Structure 1
């Protein structure tokens, strides 16, 4: 009998120090700190990628950590392959996804989204010595590169008298711009930032001009109906928006 009582007491003590799952998701430790597990596919710099030190870094990673700090929870970000990332969210493998996820009406049917935190629409990239193009409004009659079949190529078609130069991949368009073969490139803002700001082969010679002139908003996805986690994330997101921290991170990674 004493042995059974001892076992029961031991189990109670062990369970007391183990993280506790809460109804809305996440894990609450013995000291009351909630840890939210977040998935991110680290294959799209500068949004999320693995750096030379094997660390998960990028704009989305900094945003998620800043949100957690403001809202008072801990965050564990897991590098997760895109294929199946939303299925993993639905079956509870993690509590949220921050991975350059565009908010769409179709996705809203199966998951909930935070407030939008960045517009990843189309932007214009020119050579650093170009003083004639300051936004998409200055592209009339210009020669513009874009990746074939992308929304960037579609955007070029709406610019008066512009000549579209299509490329199989966006790096070829950036190389052509750097050589002076075309006047500008139109691309998604994160892709443009990766070349014009983060890539040493291009950063000295290319720059982004103007703001995104199309709309493609990213949000943080949570399981459908998980209002507890969603409210926490939105609380932190609104705080970093109001404090200017979000703009600071955009300037670091995207502008």
Structure 2
């Protein structure tokens, strides 16, 4: 083969290779064009996120809210169920775009992710068995056995109690099961989650005692570098509050209007 033919062949090869590479780059951009928002959530945190027994769909306050946010943004929301302690790592790895799961906004978490503006105010409370009349406040938990959900603020606060024995579970239902079986003396979790559990159980097996430990605010988390998405979510939340959709969702799940 002549030198001219060799040179021509090499040029052709480079054109084909780089042309294909260019096509590949365009293909990788398609997910953004499809307008899909991949959302992670720990879906056993009723009434915020849980699975409908009949339809198997993920429902709850958070689920309705994120779908409304997605609609406002003009994107399709796809929910992925995962462990609560895996949500922030999934955001950092780019496996999901956002996380909504009754996640309290804390300084420690804010170092790793960007939070939306708060969308719900909560607080920690304790649940004991219905026949327990000795535990009446968080101070009474000193030296006791406490069940918590791993990776939550409830777990962090429980560990601060003197001489306490903390047992961590993957989700809230497992913690309540442990309480019913007598494996722990109390469950420490978010107040609305505890209230929902008591309501569903009819108040026969357990009760909430004492005042809420603190005040917490929930936020929707996105990757630290994704400030644009955080801004879009904030704008959508503002619009939902203005047009009354946020209030409708709140009343649906909590039976009362949101605090002003």
TM-score range, shorter chain: 0.5 to 0.7
**What per-residue deviation string (whole Å, max 9, x for no partner) do you get for residues 171-229 of structure 1?**
7989xxxxxxxxxx9962222332244x1x31799999xx9783111111101121221
Q: Does 1:43 pair with 2:48?
A: no
Partner of 1:110: 112
CA distance in 2, matches of 1:55, 1:41: 14
**CA spacing shift, 1:251–1:193, aligned 2, 3 Å:** farther
**CA spacing shift, 1:143–1:91, aligned 2, 3 Å:** closer
Measure how far apart 1:39 and its partner are: 0.8
Partner of 2:6: none
Partner of 2:215: 215
User: Secondary structure of the equivalent of 1:44?
Assistant: coil
For the Cα contact (< 8 Å) 2:42–2:49, is it kept in 1? Answer: yes
For the Cα contact (< 8 Å) 1:111–1:224, is it kept in 2? Answer: yes
CA distance in 1, matches of 2:87, 2:218: 16
TM superposition score normalised by structure 1: 0.61
Partner of 1:86: 88
Measure how far apart 1:112 and its partner are: 0.4
User: What CA RMSD, in Å, does the superposition of the two structures yield over aligned residues?
Assistant: 4.5
- Pick one of 64, 67, 70 that aligns with 2:66: 64
Would you identify which runs of 4 or more consecutive aligned residues in structure 1 move more than 3 Å? Answer: 17-21, 122-125, 142-152, 168-174, 203-208, 211-214
For structure 2, the 5+ residue unaligned runs are 1-15, 128-133, 149-153, 159-166, 168-174, 181-186, 256-260
CA distance in 1, matches of 2:36, 2:195: 31
Greater C-alpha radius of gyration = 2
Partner of 2:245: 245
Partner of 1:27: 32
For structure 1, the 5+ residue unaligned runs are 1-6, 126-141, 156-167, 175-184
Partner of 1:232: 232
CA distance in 1, matches of 2:196, 2:83: 20
CA distance in 2, matches of 1:196, 1:170: 10
